[in-house]
């Protein structure tokens, strides 16, 4: 059901410093920051030959990333995103098998302009999983 790894998301306490680190120290292609108000984050994508890294920074008071950074002040891996061909079919199959979908269970538009869903980390070995429709 899942396709390729789309990205690994890392919550960071300083978006500019993390972007500079990937650009200047590692020589990576670093995109511009983009605000995603529906998800409460500002994101920066780092393009690699085989996938992307998404840097996450809190946007606003109610950001879920703010809570993550409270528990992990230095930042850390937040989630992994896998591609799926049909997000509704993937959701229905996962729910039928006992997986929990975060939020109201309906896809939202993600940072790439495509529908996304998040799966409860307790159902996937402690890892928050994002599914993105290709």
Question: Catalytic site residue 130?
Answer: yes
2: nearest Cα among 82, 117, 107: 82
Distance of CA 1 to the CA centre of its chain: 19
The strand pair at 41-47 and 52-58 is best described as antiparallel
Residues contacting 66, CB < 8 A, separation 6+: 58
In terms of C-beta density within 10 A (0-12 exposed, 13-18 middle, 19 or more buried), how is residue 84 classed? buried
Phi and psi at 108, nearest 5°, equal -115, 165
Catalytic residue of the set 29, 36, 106, 130: 130
The residues annotated with a catalytic role in the active site are 130
């Amino acid at each position: 059901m899942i396709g390729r790894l789309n990205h690994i998301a890392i919550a960071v306490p300083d978006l500019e410093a993390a972007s500079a680190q990937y650009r200047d120290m590692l020589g990576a292609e670093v995109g511009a920051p983009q605000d995603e108000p529906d998800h409460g984050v500002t994101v920066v994508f780092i393009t690699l030959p085989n996938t992307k890294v998404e840097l996450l920074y809190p946007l606003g008071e109610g950001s879920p990333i703010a809570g993550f950074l409270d528990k992990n002040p230095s930042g850390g891996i937040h989630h992994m995103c896998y591609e799926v061909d049909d997000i509704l079919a993937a959701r229905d199959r996962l729910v039928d098998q006992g997986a929990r979908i975060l939020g109201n269970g309906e896809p939202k538009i993600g940072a790439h302009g495509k529908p996304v869903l998040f799966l409860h980390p307790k159902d996937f070995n402690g890892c928050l999983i994002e599914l993105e429709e290709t």
